[in-house]
A and B are shown apart, each in its own frame.
Chain A
């Protein structure tokens, strides 16, 4: 293993996916021993580019060169052999195994599975200040430690170029600082890091070079010493700065949804949601801010009738719907944009018109009595495709073949059908391109003007501030703060989300 890290050069990379050209003419050069930031909005093509560099996907055009030598990766195994490693946003660790076991899994030949491996792990951990004990169970580790373990795994396999996919998304500020400390150590040891992010403050704090992506291509590079945040933001979004600008209030007096003291427990009796009380009036968007995993999913589940509360009550207008099942709720006018559209929102291998029926199996125009109304469903799918600008060759195309943004537009169109009174929207614009994002925001705003009550869960603070009439912050299953979006800043919300706000409970 050489001490000096390799230089990586990507030239004219192009990758096409159905409906979108995910990458075109992408150029990126990572200098040895640097932290290189790749910035861009959600859907700008960063993920695709990393996957190409890590051998998960093959580029349609373009070349990858390491130390000036052209390479082609058929799989991540090839990439690892050339010293390129990647840490995904979602950790790939087995909870019931120890640090050591996770580390050697799939790399048993490197240092064995016993003391040799243990020694190597200690060496890596000490060298970079990871603080990993080889024999700890991974389930006992916190998020930050798991991330360090993932990085250590990559180093263990001999990587000199480490790709980090939005590593700070799951971390609180103090943990981010610690991570940056680790990254600097890595750099000093001669490794290079490709740091993917859309958080500009962090990028400016850690990067040596910055490459900006927009709409699938690299639009420029910047020097972190001289560039300002504003200039970077402009590079990222181009001329059209889509922001969900707040409009005048359309909040009415009619309470559409009311939760009183709702508590949800897991199978061991631990509270997942504690004593949640909130109300949403017609024409009001209530935003829920929080670091992921603080009870947002459970809140959506309990409102949608997919989970029964242990105590408390839920009212939809005047009906007590606490123990209503999802179908009855949907029939009474609740639309639902799920967090994970692939798992909860679509039948991926079914055509679009059948996906139009999903969730509307008991309502026209999809059905007539106990029968599926094929022509009705097909016609209404055509309507959604036209009104919501879903880019597809036709309604017989299977959902899987569409790009994420178009899938999401179809879901939004479907859930807005049949005049819902309440919309539960969990991360409605996650992972969609800028155009689709703006369109989805417009649709939500329009429906709100028409009197729709919206429960909006989002990790995108700008989206929350731009769309919501009121923002509540959720932390460890409790609502810990209320903010007025016209005066709140992302920083205020961030403090409350991590429990640093004055209203936080200990």
Chain B
């Protein structure tokens, strides 16, 4: 039992160190530009407004989905930087379909989600195919596909979207396909999106896939040791393709809670950049289903709460990006240090137990 507690404490050590380093670095930057770090931290730790609380929950959900998409790649040793492009193009396709209202009510929602999955997977699949057939690094191809996706979505939107004044968006979602959320506070504080529950389902699904299935074992084995995976009979090309498709499929869903919960159209309401946030959170949470949850909460909280800075302090809300960046950087280093330390500790422990036995 004590070893169990010890293991948990060990697991928390690296993130704790990372957050501490991030706090120190942020304070130092604020100090260096002549502001008061105290103002910053008191703003950050003040009790969030109801509106911000709702915002944190919603953002956590979509950041988490993005992190899972990244983690599927990472676990297999693939760096899918293309989540940004995958969910942009998937969101555009899904919003175009849903807005056209070929179907109504629940059927419209279900098919739209399916389209988001398929388009996301397909876009990621291009990089997967290039890798297994031509040996193109997924890092390069997904970065290029990001540009193509964003440009293409912009072009198609401009061409076929609804122009309204200076803005353009896809046809608005009709009322019967909106998914009502849940307003924990006053209506003006906003709703928690119902489809935020997708994040829970994806998280549980990811955990089951990784730890309980043969495919998950193959995925982890490939990520841990390519050579051992090959010798054990895993077909590396097949694994690359499947995990790329899977990663893209999850990526396709990133913006869907926001779309059905509030935005209602793809256009100015679209929230970009989540793909990169997801990569950072996956790193922070070490690709573990639970770890990434805490990472997503941290990121969502920092971003949402930083709006408080706009009032009553001279510190730019962008400062939290430094906190986030340093946290990710520090966690990578801290994990490696803790890992080595643990492995030494474990070796010593094994030696001791064997001598005693």
Are A and B subunits of one complex? yes
| Contacts A343-B225, A343-B227, A370-B213 given; does A326 touch B233 at CB 8 Å | yes
| Contacts A19-B354, A306-B231, A326-B230 given; does A350 touch B224 at CB 8 Å | yes
Interface size for B (C-beta < 8 A) is: 30
In the complex, B350 has a CB within 8 A of chain A: yes
Within 8 A of B (CB), among A394-409: 397-398, 400-402
Residue picked from B216, B220, B231, most chain A C-beta under 10 Å = B231
In the complex, A17 has a CB within 8 A of chain B: yes
Assembled-state Cα–Cα distance A338/B224 (Å): 17
In the complex, A90 has a CB within 8 A of chain B: no
Assembled-state Cα–Cα distance A372/B217 (Å): 8
Report B133 CB to chain A, min CB distance, Å: 16
When C-beta atoms are compared, the residue in chain B nearest to A361 turns out to be B214
| Contacts A329-B233, A336-B231, A343-B227 given; does A358 touch B221 at CB 8 Å | yes
Assembled-state Cα–Cα distance A344/B226 (Å): 8
Within 8 A of A (CB), among B181-222: 211-218, 220-221
| Contacts A343-B225, A393-B350 given; does A362 touch B214 at CB 8 Å | yes
When C-beta atoms are compared, the residue in chain B nearest to A350 turns out to be B224
A358–B232 CB distance below 8 A? yes
B227–A354 CB distance below 8 A? no
A346–B351 CB distance below 8 A? no
A372–B350 CB distance below 8 A? no
Assembled-state Cα–Cα distance A346/B225 (Å): 8
Assembled-state Cα–Cα distance A71/B232 (Å): 46
Assembled-state Cα–Cα distance A367/B212 (Å): 10
B228–A358 CB distance below 8 A? yes
Report A8 CB to chain B, min CB distance, Å: 28
In the complex, B321 has a CB within 8 A of chain A: no
Within 8 A of B (CB), among A341-362: 343-350, 354, 357-359, 361-362
| Contacts A362-B214, A371-B213, A392-B350 given; does A349 touch B224 at CB 8 Å | yes
Assembled-state Cα–Cα distance A306/B346 (Å): 34
B231–A401 CB distance below 8 A? no
Of the candidates B217, B221, B231, B357, the one whose C-beta lies within 8 Å of that of A304 is: B231
| Contacts A361-B217, A361-B218, A372-B214 given; does A397 touch B350 at CB 8 Å | yes
In the complex, B2 has a CB within 8 A of chain A: no
In the complex, A325 has a CB within 8 A of chain B: yes
Q: Which residues of B contact A374 (CB under 8 A)?
A: 212
Q: Which residues of A contact B343 (CB under 8 A)?
A: 349, 398, 400-401
B214–A17 CB distance below 8 A? no
| Contacts A361-B217, A397-B350 given; does A327 touch B234 at CB 8 Å | yes
| Contacts A371-B212, A372-B217, A400-B343 given; does A19 touch B232 at CB 8 Å | no
In the complex, B163 has a CB within 8 A of chain A: no
Assembled-state Cα–Cα distance A354/B228 (Å): 13
In the complex, A18 has a CB within 8 A of chain B: yes
Q: Which residues of A contact B212 (CB under 8 A)?
A: 371-372, 374
In the complex, A427 has a CB within 8 A of chain B: no
Residue picked from A19, A330, A331, A402, most chain B C-beta under 10 Å = A19
B214–A401 CB distance below 8 A? no
Of the candidates B215, B228, B230, the one whose C-beta lies within 8 Å of that of A347 is: B228
In the complex, B6 has a CB within 8 A of chain A: no
In the complex, B347 has a CB within 8 A of chain A: yes
Q: Which residues of A contact B221 (CB under 8 A)?
A: 347, 358, 361
Interchain residue pairs with CB less than 8 A apart (23): A18-B347, A19-B350, A19-B351, A325-B235, A326-B234, A327-B232, A330-B232, A340-B227, A343-B225, A344-B227, A345-B231, A346-B225, A347-B221, A348-B224, A349-B224, A358-B228, A361-B218, A370-B213, A372-B214, A393-B354, A397-B346, A397-B350, A398-B346
Which B residues lie at the A interface, using CB under 8 A?
211-218, 220-221, 224-225, 227-228, 230-235, 343, 346-351, 353-354, 357
